[in-house]
């Protein structure tokens, strides 16, 4: 299912978190470099390659530090669909598209 940027922006990834968020900014971006995905607690192994569309959220957390988080579209699709993995089942497998882009990005780095 194709989703719009508005669909991705409407998701509240920090729903239920008791932190106070101020100066919050949420937008869709095209990444210029690789970023770890923060859509799920266990998605640290998911990497967003350079040139991919992603959701970027930035906010001042509890008045003490700035948080900046990127979330990939496949993980956001899973969040919207309610497709959550049990914590005991391990890491999320990145989508084939993101794996291919990551390999291409690594290949371009080694050729430079």
CB–CB of 49/66 below 8 Å? no
How far is residue 3 CA from its own chain's centroid? 15
* pLDDT band per the 50, 70, 90 thresholds, residue 80: confident
> What is the structure's pLDDT at 59?
85
Proportion of the chain above pLDDT 90, given as a percent: 23
Distance CA 42, CA 15 (A): 17
Both structure tokens of 62: 């509890």
Sorting pLDDT into bands at 50, 70 and 90, what band is 84? Answer: low
Q: Locate 51 and state its tokens.
A: 């040139």
To which H or E segment does residue 107 belong? helix 96-111
What pLDDT does 65 receive? Answer: 83
Is the confidence at residue 44, as pLDDT, over 80?
no
- The pLDDT of residue 60 is 85
Q: What is the pLDDT of residues 58-68, one digit of tens each?
A: 888 888 888 88
Beta bridge partner(s), residue 66: 60
- pLDDT confidence bin for 46, thresholds 50/70/90: confident
Angle CA 109–111–112, to nearest 5: 70
């Amino acid at each position: 299912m194709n989703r719009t940027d508005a669909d991705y922006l409407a998701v509240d990834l920090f729903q239920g978190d008791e932190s106070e968020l101020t100066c919050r900014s949420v937008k869709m971006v095209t990444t210029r470099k690789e970023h770890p995905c923060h859509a799920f607690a266990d998605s640290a192994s998911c990497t967003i390659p350079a040139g991919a569309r992603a959701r970027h959220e930035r906010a001042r957390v509890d008045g003490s530090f700035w948080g900046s988080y990127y979330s990939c579209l496949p993980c956001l699709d899973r969040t919207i669909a309610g497709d959550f993995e049990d914590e005991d089942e391990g890491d999320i497998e990145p989508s084939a598209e993101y794996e291919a882009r990551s390999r291409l990005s690594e290949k371009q780095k080694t050729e430079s």
